[in-house]
Amino acid sequence: MSESATSGRLDQKRVRDWLSQLAAPARPMIRGTVAWGMAAGALTIAQMGLLAWIIHQAVVESVEVSELTVPFMALLAVLLARALCQGLQARYAAVSSRRIRNSLRRSFTRRLHAAGPVALGTESPATLAREWLDHVDALHGYFARFLPQMLLAGLVPLMILMVVFWLDWLAGVFLLLAAPLIPLFMALVGMGAEKLNQQHFRTISRLSGQFLDRIRALTTLQLFAADRRAADLLQERSDAYRRITMKTLRLAFLSSAVLEFFSSVAIAVIAIYIGFGLLGYIHFGPADSLTLFSGLLVLMLAPEFFQPLRLLAQHYHDRAAALGAAAELLDRLEDLPDKAVQKHENVRNADPGAGIVLDQVSAGFYPGQPVFSELFLTLESGSVTALTGPSGGGKSTLLHLLAGFLKPDQGEVRIFGLAPGEVRFGWLGQQPFLVHGTWADNLRLTTPDASDVAIETALRQLGLGGLIDERPEGINSPVSESGAGLSGGQGRRLSLARILVANYDLILMDEPTAGLDPDSEVYVIEALHKLAVQGKTLVFSTHQPALLTLADHILSVSGRGQVLDTSRGGRHYE
């Protein structure tokens, strides 16, 4: 138990260190936020000072209102300036948080790209998207509100304390007595808020979890006519959770009550001390020199002394939310490799004559369990290669190696004389990849400068002409009007159309005809045939006899990492 608590604390420290590392580039903006907050605090003191001075002048010195125009004007100016500083403080806070989040997203994206599709394949895209979008935004409150307020909660009370000391040191001592308590307050507020947050979030997440679970299962519940009972149970459970939560909260709320208590009592004690001092009942200390001005000012400053702390307590949930999200983000980022992505977007000169070479390649998904060891393989440019073999035998691994999605543990892969990934190529995966948008959008995603004619030709070649003819906008009509999407076969054909438009020299395909309806299959085989005739280098895994006849080489990839060229009388690659 204590061990897990220690590791929890260590973990939290690691997360906090990471957060402050993130904040480093925006440090000047955060300092700016604090500076404007300090200015607003100083102007608050000035405002209270002017109010107390005007009252003193009018009541004690009997100065006419008309002669007080200047201090009144000064007061208005101070109020305006204070509002301005508060606005600017919020603006600086918003800007600094925005910068931090943008740069975090940049590095997140970089790491996702470096990891590549194979490593990310096991993660749900929705989870990654939530982390990329929502978790990063959950850090906002921490950088914009909590972090600056943490400093302000120390600095502004200090400023007020100095003024009060100058006015009446005994009143200052009353506040000072509370001052050593401030770290204690912070800890108390922190602990209370932490507990509150944990308990609150746990209850909410349990409740939401139950609710979510029942909604997910609603159809099943309805099929068994159990939906009414489920609603009653939901009610019962949430009542039970509420009762448990409230028990904990009774204690957790005490910490904020302590803060409230100290600030109320400080005001009351100071008011009564000043009152008695003004009456001349107190014969020690500075009470003799109290005036209405200094008395009122001290009184009005007392609540302001505690105000920054109360704000900090309010911002504590920002911290809790940010720490939770940050812990998950940090885990994710540490899992992803941080290396520069190859900048193959500026294509280097490839030598298409050089063919494809795998030189002594060892590779696998887990260390110590290579799928291939010291594999040597050459494929000529313009050849068509089919990979066959049992599932799990390494066909996909070989394709991923050629694509550069998987880095070899040893040896080297050269595609047209360059490293994989330095050459653009076509990739046809098993899952159709569609973006929300028009047919043209979908094809221009990988080939931005494709002409309308080229796009339409490619779609027609794959038998998708009928779908675009139905629509008046042709290729500029949305792929799916209702969001229902295309069938699997149509999706595969769309992906292949993308490759046709792009005119790649190398095309890698993972089971291009698996699970297709007969219609789609014919179109896909025909398109591959056309690509082969055009002299493109094709590598695909397949079991389909029709595709095997298309191939110049058939490589049998077996489970023991052996690759056998069955089309040339069993030449062995190892």
Partner 1 sequence: MNELRPWLALLFRRPGRLLNGGLLMLVTLISGIGLLALSGWFITATALTGLLLAAGVQASINLYVPGGGIRLFAVSRTIGRYLERLYNHDTVLRLLSDIRVFLFRQLSEKPAAHRAAQPSSRWLSRFINDVDQLDALYLRLVAPPLLALLLTMLIGAVALWVFGAFTFLLVCGLLTVGLLVATLLAWRINRQRAGREDAQRDQLRSHIIEHLDGLAELQAAGRAGRHGARLLRIASQITRERASSDTTGAWVASITQLLVNLAVVAALWSGLALFQQDQVSAPLLVLLPLAVMGLGEIYSALPEPFSRLGATIAAARRINEQCLVASAAPPVRALPDGGAALVLDKVRLMKEQHTVLNCFSLCVNQGERVAITGRSGVGKSTLAEAIAGLVEPVAGQVRSIPLAFMTQNTVILEDSLAANLRMAAPDATDKSLWRLLEAVELQDRFSAEKDGLETWLGTAGRRLSGGEARRVALARVLLTPAKLLVLDEPFTGVDPARRERIARAVEP
Residues in 156-215 at the binding interface with partner 1, rule: CB under 8 A: 203-204, 207-215
Residue 2's identity, in one-letter code, is: S
- Does position 219 bind partner 1 by CB under 8 A? yes
Q: In the complex with partner 1, which residue's Cβ is closer, 403 or 538?
A: 403
SS3 345: coil
Q: Which value, in Å, is the radius of gyration of the alpha carbons in the chain?
A: 35
Stretch of residues binding partner 1 (CB under 8 A), selected from 107-115, 149-157, 353-361, 371-379: 107-115
Toward partner 1, which CB reaches closer, 266 or 386?
Answer: 266
DSSP letter assigned to residue 147: H
* Position 83 contacts partner 1 (CB under 8 A): yes
Q: Kindly state whether residue 337 participates in binding partner 1, applying the rule CB under 8 A.
A: no
Instruction: Compute the Cα dihedral for 8, 9, 14, 15 and give only its sign.
Output: positive
Q: In whole angstroms, how far apart are CA 423 and each of 156, 318, 407?
A: 60, 46, 15
Nearest distance in Å: CB 91, partner 1: 5
Q: How far is the CB of 462 from partner 1 (least distance, A)?
A: 16
What do you get for the CA distance between the two ends of the chain, in Å? 53
- In the list 9, 13, 27, 229, the residue contacting partner 1 (rule: CB under 8 A) is 229
Q: What is the pattern of x (binds partner 1, CB under 8 A) and - over residues 257-296?
A: x--xx--xx-xx-xxx-xxx-xxx----------xx--xx
Q: Is residue 374 classed as helix, strand or coil in its secondary structure?
A: strand
361: number of CA atoms within 13 Å, CB side? 28
Residue 446 beta carbon to partner 1: minimum distance, rounded to whole angstroms: 4
Of 523, 520, 516, 513, nearest to 548 by C-alpha is: 513
CB neighbour list of residue 107: distance below 8 Å, 6 or more residues apart: 333, 338
Asked whether position 150 contacts partner 1 by CB under 8 A, the answer is no
* Contact between 520 and partner 1 per CB under 8 A: no
Single out the segment in contact with partner 1 by CB under 8 A; choices: 164-172, 176-184, 468-476, 480-488.
Answer: 480-488
Site membership for partner 1, residue 117 (CB under 8 A)? yes
Per CB under 8 A, the list member of 9, 10, 59, 470 interacting with partner 1 is: 59
Is 340 a binding residue for partner 1 by CB under 8 A? The answer is no
**Strands laid side by side in the 410-415 sheet:** 372-379, 356-363, 410-415
Interacting span for partner 1 (CB under 8 A) from 11-19, 252-260, 464-472, 528-536? 252-260
In terms of CB distance, is 55 or 155 closer to partner 1?
Answer: 55
Stretch touching partner 1 by CB under 8 A, among 321-329, 502-510, 525-533, 546-554:
502-510
Is residue 525 within the footprint of partner 1 (CB under 8 A)? Answer: no
* Separation CA 427–CA 431 (nearest Å): 11
- Is residue 138 a contact residue for partner 1 (CB under 8 A)? no
Per CB under 8 A, the segment of 384-392, 411-419, 479-487, 527-535 that binds partner 1 is 479-487
Which ranges of 336-473 does DSSP label H, i.e. alpha helix? 395-403, 439-444, 452-461, 465-469
Cβ within 8 Å of residue 58, ≥6 positions away:
65, 68
| Whole-number Å distance between alpha carbons of 574 and 558 | 11
Provide the residue type at 279 as one letter: L
Residue 90 interacting with partner 1 (CB under 8 A): yes
Under the binding rule (CB under 8 A), the answer on residue 102 touching partner 1 is yes
Binding residues among 540-559 for partner 1 as defined by CB under 8 A: none
> Cβ closer to partner 1: 292 or 555?
292
Side by side, which strands form the sheet with 384-388? 426-428, 506-510, 537-541, 384-388, 553-557, 563-565, 571-573
